[in-house]
Structure 1
Amino acid sequence: MIPSMQHSYDLASVQATRHKVLRNTYWLLALSMIPTVLGAFIGVTMQLPMLHGGMGFLLFLAIAFGFMFAIEKTKESGIGVAVLLGFTFFMGLMLTPLLRHTLGYSNGGSLIMTAFGGTACVFAVMASIATVSKRDFSGLGSWLFAGVIVLLLAMVANIFLHMAVLQIVISIMAVGIFSAFILFDVQRIVNGGETNYISATLSIYLDVYNIFTHLLSLLGIAGGSRD
């Protein structure tokens, strides 16, 4: 085969593989929303008790990281999909306190839908930019990781401080950081840096989940009505 033809064939094959990973990631991401909604529905309607305070937060992190470790260990098989969906169900349950609080407002339902729509818009815009832009966003990785560490420390501090202003700052930071993470994570797939669609889905799911929760928190603070 002529070298130039071989190169073109190899390039087309690589692009096809990356497109398949991206397509499978989006399909699995959409599927992961079903157990998330189911978990949230069960948590709210059955009024399941949720852990609060510092110990509750640490237990949540332990379970969440346990799930993520299991997902990474099983990502090369269909079991990884099942574990991922189990994780998204758990994360749906963890929405219970925020959803209960929001539904306590007279306009709680509309706030939830606004947060959902806003999250969808942020995802669509950032994913589109990551897909078509020629700019390299890989340099964001270390900065975003540092931002997440600062965010976690601020969240732990506010468990004890209960400062409304700090909560607003945390939520604004989180929306910005995880919006940028969508750019980073989607472009990693497009550029071939991530070749496993289960791992890719986990990363983007966490981005979307955090944007939704912190956007909903901001909407509740700014526009929640008790009338």
Structure 2
Amino acid sequence: MQKLYSQAGTVSDSTEVSKVLRNTYTLLAMTIAFSAFTAVISMAMNVPYLGLFMLLPYFGLLYAVEKTKNSGWGIVWVFALTGFLGFTIAPILNYYVSSMGYAPILTALGGTSIIFFGLSGYTLVTRKDFSFMGNFIMVGILVAFVAGIANVFFNISGLSLAVSCMFAVLSSLLIMWQTSQIIHGGERNYISATVTLYVSLYNIFLSLLHILGVTSDD
């Protein structure tokens, strides 16, 4: 009887994991498409670069997502957050288009896709538990974020490149960590998982774009 109960529990857990993965990847694909749409609109409107002024709305939207992640409003705020990020990235894209064409953007998109599918696939296939990386990733992202803010004022090219590399590596690790959390039961909310993966992809794309821009200038 205990064995049957254990098997039933395993099947139930596997079903829950599949459901969270399916919902997460579906919502992630939809939010990426929506942010691409808002980016195209913003590029056409030639919206100016907001710089640090985007941080307050960004953190406000993150807070709204966190507070409503267990209700239907969570999905609404996820689209508001990702749409906002797509809208505010357009000035950066316009800069690269005007100075270097579409090549670095397409290369960064391709690189981001390879990283995401490669790391997600590896984690799903091996089913390794990367929960041990959680604290390291959070501390690393905080350090990179503070360094990035500081570089806005000091404008050191070497530091800027280092921050981009840090974000690219840490965001890649975050993809593995979040996927592992879903597989091993640490994450059961697909809205939270979607936001984590989306922000990781957003940071990887921007980091690769900056690295490509710097290396091309050199």
Q: Under a length normalisation based on structure 2, what TM-score does the superposition of the two structures give?
A: 0.95
CA deviation digits over 1:41-97, x for unaligned, max 9? 121110113323xxxx1x322211111111111112222111101111100012122
Residue of structure 2 in register with 1:21 after alignment:
20
Residue of structure 2 equivalent to 1:169: 162
Work out whether residues 35 and 86 of structure 1, in 8 Å CA contact, stay in contact via their aligned partners in 2.
Answer: no
1:93-147: CA deviations, max 9, x gaps? Answer: 12122102211224x2121111111000000111112212253211111111111
Show CA shifts across 1:22-48 (max 9, x none).
111001000001221112112111011
Matched residues in 1 for 2:160 and 2:67: separation?
35
User: What's the RMSD between the two structures over aligned residues?
Assistant: 1.5
Q: Is the 8 A contact 2:168 2:204 kept in 1?
A: yes
* Structure in which a larger fraction of residues adopt helix: 2
Cα deviation, 1:197-222, whole Å, max 9, x if unaligned, reads: 11110111111110001111111121
The match for 2:97 is 103
Q: Which runs of 4+ in 1 moved over 3 A?
A: none
How many residue pairs were aligned?
218
Q: Percent identity?
A: 34
Q: Secondary structure at the match of 1:98?
A: helix
1:93 maps to 87
In structure 2, the gaps of 5 or more residues are none
| Aligned mate of 2:55, from 57, 61, 84 | 61
TM-score after normalising by structure 1: 0.91
| 1:115 aligned residue | 108
Q: Secondary structure at the match of 2:144?
A: helix
Structure 1: gaps (5+ residues) = none
2:72 maps to which residue?
A: 78
